[in-house]
Amino acid sequence: MLTTMERPVETNVSLRGVRPNIVQSIRAFRVSDLQEVAHASGQHFLYANLSSAQSKQDVLDLIAQQFMFPAHFGKNFDALYDCMTDPLHKSGPQPGFVVVLEHIPANAKFDKEAREQLLDIFRDASDYWGDRKIPFRCFYSFL
């Protein structure tokens, strides 16, 4: 479900200026740089490209597929939160997370309220891991 690299990778990008538990726009970061810094620091890197999504169900399906969630994933926001927190916590010590949600749709079927609900799930997951002193940084962009 999650990927880490054993050997550090050299990168010019650092997350030093980014709080350890935050959900923020990707802005000046490139996905490849975030992946490199996650691997260099031994953290899990989770990436979902949502450019083909049109609806809430599409978004959840793509995240489940690209994050390699188990087949029993409930495909709702509560299940998304559960998959991002409790099972990972129960699986043992976690090194940290760098999550990228690229091209979140912005259309009538996935409106502003749906986008905020999605980001709230990741904010709640960030708080969950922050309470456990585990870095969880989520970067996103809109389509």
Residue at 8 is within a domain: no
Strand partners, 46: 99
CATH number for 37:
3.30.370
Strand partners, 44: 97
Question: How many domains does the chain fold into?
Answer: 1
Read off the pLDDT band of 92 (50, 70, 90): confident
Cα 29 from Cα 34, distance rounded (Å): 7
Residue at 99 is within a domain: no
Strands 21-25 and 136-142: parallel
Residue at 88 is within a domain: yes
Cα 6 from Cα 49, distance rounded (Å): 25
pLDDT in tens, 94-115: 999 999 999 999 999 999 999 9
What pLDDT score was predicted for residue 143? 87
Residue at 9 is within a domain: no
Q: Which domain holds residue 42?
A: 21-94+105-135
> Where is 120: in which H helix or E strand?
helix 112-131
| Whether the model pTM is above 0.85 | yes
Residue at 125 is within a domain: yes
